[in-house]
């Protein structure tokens, strides 16, 4: 497979990138980001784009892709709905349109979130916007599109979040993680499990377009 990752510098993206580079079936990983990654690999190709709203559809790296793992995202804390929509919906759809024109046969995997609102009419702002993005991606025209809805994601293998407050919170709750996993196994996953599940979906598809934590962990 040839895959492209958006958001490879973030916590989820780092986990997905790691699993892709470990998988012998992945012959090339294209990482698209605003700043370089802190690693090199023979099968890793970086495309640095200062403004992701201005992707070049003729970029050779976007042709003949089998899958896109879309791990870009921001916290909605302190953001207006308009600003959050620009990043979570508008940017996602802009990138999706570029990719579908270059590689219409690819599988698009979108990192969403637990409790996302598919009706787009709920009272929780971020959940409405994520739901709108999930729904719109189904209509773009890809071979397939899936939304991953992870809950608590445990970073593994030295991975850290680009959001410093998440790292702080995780350090505080880390001693409680084994208890949380026993009491609520359907709420917890890891960066490793998310990455492997994305690869599984890209290879074989899945029975439904929205994957909750139990689906991710089972894959």
pLDDT digits (tens, 9 = 90+) for 110-125: 999 999 999 999 999 9
Rounded Cα gap, residues 39 and 106, in angstroms:
26
Alpha helices in 50-158 (DSSP H): 81-85, 91-102, 125-137
pLDDT at 177: 76
pTM of the model: 0.93
For the chain, the residue count is 219
What average pLDDT score do residues 75-86 get?
Answer: 94
Phi, psi angle pair for 84, to nearest 5°: -65, -35
CATH number for 2-218 (one of 1.10.260.40, 3.40.640.10, 3.40.50.720, 3.40.50.1820): it is 3.40.50.720
Rounded Cα gap, residues 155 and 136, in angstroms:
29
Residues of the chain above pLDDT 70, percent: 99
């Amino acid at each position: 497979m040839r895959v492209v990752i958006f958001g490879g510098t973030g916590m989820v993206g780092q986990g997905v990138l790691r699993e892709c580079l470990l998988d012998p079936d992945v012959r090339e990983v294209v990482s698209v980001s605003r700043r370089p990654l802190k690693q090199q690999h023979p099968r890793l190709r970086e495309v640095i784009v200062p403004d992701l709203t201005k992707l070049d559809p003729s970029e050779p790296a976007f042709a003949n892709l089998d899958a896109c793992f879309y791990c870009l995202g921001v916290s909605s804390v302190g953001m207006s709905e308009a600003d959050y929509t620009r990043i979570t919906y508008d940017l996602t759809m802009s990138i999706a349109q570029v990719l579908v024109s270059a590689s219409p046969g690819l599988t698009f995997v979108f990192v969403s979130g637990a409790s996302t609102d598919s009706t787009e009419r709920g009272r929780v702002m971020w959940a409405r916007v994520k739901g709108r993005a999930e729904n719109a991606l189904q209509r773009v025209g890809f071979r397939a599109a899936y939304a991953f809805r992870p809950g608590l994601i445990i970073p593994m293998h030295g991975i850290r979040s680009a959001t410093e407050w998440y790292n702080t919170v995780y350090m505080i709750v880390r001693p409680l993680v084994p208890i949380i996993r026993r009491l609520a196994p359907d709420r917890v996953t890891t960066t490793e499990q998310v990455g492997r599940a994305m690869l599984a979906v890209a290879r074989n598809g899945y029975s439904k377009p929205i994957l909750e934590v139990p689906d991710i962990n089972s894959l």
